[in-house]
Amino acid sequence: MASYFISDLHLSNQQPKLLIGLLQLCQQIAADAEELFILGDLFDAWIGDDAAPAELLPMQQALLRLAMGGCKLYFVHGNRDFLLGQDFADSCQMRILPSICKRRVQGQQVLLLHGDELCTDDLPYQAFRQQVRNSKWQTDFLSQPLEARLAQAKAARHASQAHTSSSQMDIMDVNEQAVAQCFAEQDCQTMIHGHTHRPDRHQYSDGRVRWVLGDWHPDQLNYLRIEQQDWRFVRHNILG
């Protein structure tokens, strides 16, 4: 039985191929998946469990079938879906994990996170992250009418695109000092995260290893598969 890791799918009703990709992934791994970890940005945007688009229902059903087949589902909030709540998680029997957590995977202790907290050189983003991860801000936002939430989410998305296009690429990658501090604070040798869209395996001189998950594209899905000591990135074309 194997453990699977995905992140940065950015599912939305604007990208039906990505929804097809998740359905295909659930079918592909159903036979041997012991657990599936979704490390953030499952959705391109999430403004509350009460506002889930109807187009995402087949995806929820596919995750539920996977869970009912014996695969344990875990989720870590990303920077796009930090408002995903317990109602949605319960609908597909998925457990929400803390933003930084250690889990035993295939007999090895592994540190899991989305990864945006490691991008400490991007000061405007970190200020935004601190604001929206505040529980009072989230409660106030979710109490607003759907139309108001949609308008704010659209404005935030435009601001994010403008910030990304005007920023140097390096500041949107992880800060290695932040990585080292996270390793030390959590007392762990192996880390898995997403967010940066730069899939790779980073081996450090002290023996620590950082695995970065890839983002999904309309023609390709990406995941990390672990079975005992066999760790490998896998890419598949999305059919249909």
Superfamily of domain 2-122+170-237: Metallo-dependent phosphatases (3.60.21.10)
Written as tens digits, the pLDDT of the chain (240 aa) is: 999 999 999 999 889 999 999 999 999 999 999 999 999 999 999 999 999 988 889 999 999 999 999 999 999 999 999 999 999 999 999 999 999 999 999 999 999 999 999 999 999 999 999 999 999 999 999 999 999 999 998 898 888 888 777 666 677 899 999 999 999 999 999 999 999 999 999 999 999 999 999 999 999 999 999 999 999 999 999 987
Q: Would you state the pLDDT for residue 171?
A: 77
- pTM: predicted TM-score of the whole model, two decimal places: 0.96
Residue 172's SS3 state is helix
Question: Residue 214 and residue 234: Cα distance in Å, rounded?
Answer: 10
Residue extents of the structural domains in the chain: 2-122+170-237
Contact status, residue 115 vs residue 196, Cβ threshold 8 Å: yes
In sequence order, which residues have a C-beta less than 8 Å from that of residue 75 and are 6 or more positions away?
37, 38, 40, 42, 84, 89, 94, 95, 96, 97
Q: Would you state the pLDDT for residue 158?
A: 83
Q: Would you state the pLDDT for residue 47?
A: 96
Q: Would you state the pLDDT for residue 16?
A: 92
* Token pair of 49 as six digits: 């469990």
> Euclidean distance between the first and final Cα of the chain, in Å?
28
Axis crossing angle, helix 123-132 with helix 135-142, rounded to the nearest 10: 70
- CA atoms within a 13 Å half-sphere pointing along the CA-CB vector of 42: 26
Q: Token pair 């688009």 is at which residue?
A: 53
Q: Would you state the pLDDT for residue 167?
A: 66
